[in-house]
Structure 1
Amino acid sequence: MVKVEIVDEKESNSPYASDSSAASSSESLSSVDSEIANDETIFDRLAALVDIVPPTTRHKITSRIASTGSFFKTTGKVVGNIVWIVTTSALLVGLPLAVSLEDEAKLVAQEKEEQQAGQQVCSIVHILTPCKS
């Protein structure tokens, strides 16, 4: 908000006084700038900008920001639920399936090894007697 004060020009501590003993105008203006900078924060300056924007425009801006925030919140919740469903399904269905497929692959590999060992035994025995095929 903007404060309006009536300042008497006859005050001796005014930086705009036309006194002959006053410092140069650039020095007095720099002292005024430093006083304003010390007293006022950035938040105060941004809060003062609210008065520049008309109420209807402010309402439109806030409603759009609120609807955008609501959209992202809802979208995030839906995406989170989908990720949860996919993850739990993969753990409950995919993991046991992968373990059973791995066990079956081990059995197939073991049977192949046994067949190869049987053929080697048959080839050794073939020297003594012919093998049955």
Structure 2
Amino acid sequence: MVKVEIVEEKDAHASPYASSSSSRTSSSVSLSSVESDASVDESLLDRIAALKDIVPPTTRHSIATRISKTATFVKKSSKVIGNIVWVVTTSALLVGLPLALVVEDEAKAVAQEKELLEQHQGAQQMMAPSLYPPGADSQQKGLVPPGF
């Protein structure tokens, strides 16, 4: 079996790196206190809140003022933009939709009138006698339509 002994140096004060037994125990006590502080439950929010002490108060105030002004600007401009969108949308629904429906109805009415006119012209051509004498159709071979 092995025996372990602590050997004290005789010339402890001569070396700057030598430490007395009291300092050894005090450093171990301080290490244990650090370990106990680390074991305390600390949230991330608490740690971030503790960082505010690093930033000087004047800088904190200027940052807070800028953030406040920016938030106010964003809030006011979003309200104005929302109002503009509301007015445009409402106007389009109240004016544009009925106008589009009226234009569509007018186009249908014009198409029906055109169709009736074509039907009347077709009926008149059926009733009207031919411009060519009977038998002239067989003699005409190369009829050219007008406009050519």
> After superposition, where does 1:1-133 map in structure 2 within 5 Å?
14=29, 16=31, 32=35, 36=38, 39-127=41-129
Which portions of structure 1, spanning 4 or more consecutive aligned residues, are displaced by more than 2 angstroms? 13-17
**SS, match of residue 46 in structure 1:** helix
Specify which structure has the bigger relative contact order, considering alpha-carbon pairs within 8 angstroms and separated by 6 or more residues: 1
Task: Name whichever structure is richer in helix by fraction.
Answer: 1
**SS, match of residue 40 in structure 1:** coil
Question: Offset at 1:95?
Answer: 1.1
In structure 1, the gaps of 5 or more residues are: 1-8, 18-28
2:5 — aligned with what?
none
RMSD (Å), alpha carbons: 2.9
State the TM-score, normalized to the length of structure 1: 0.70
Q: Distance in 2 between matches of 1:51 and 1:91?
A: 56
**SS, match of residue 94 in structure 2:** helix
Residue 99 and residue 50 in structure 1: after superposition, are their counterparts in 2 closer, same or farther (change >3 A)? same
Question: Offset at 1:37?
Answer: 5.9
Aligned residue type for 2:108: K
State the TM-score, normalized to the length of structure 2: 0.63
Question: Offset at 1:16?
Answer: 3.2
**SS, match of residue 31 in structure 2:** coil
Structure showing greater Rg: 2
Identical positions, percent: 51
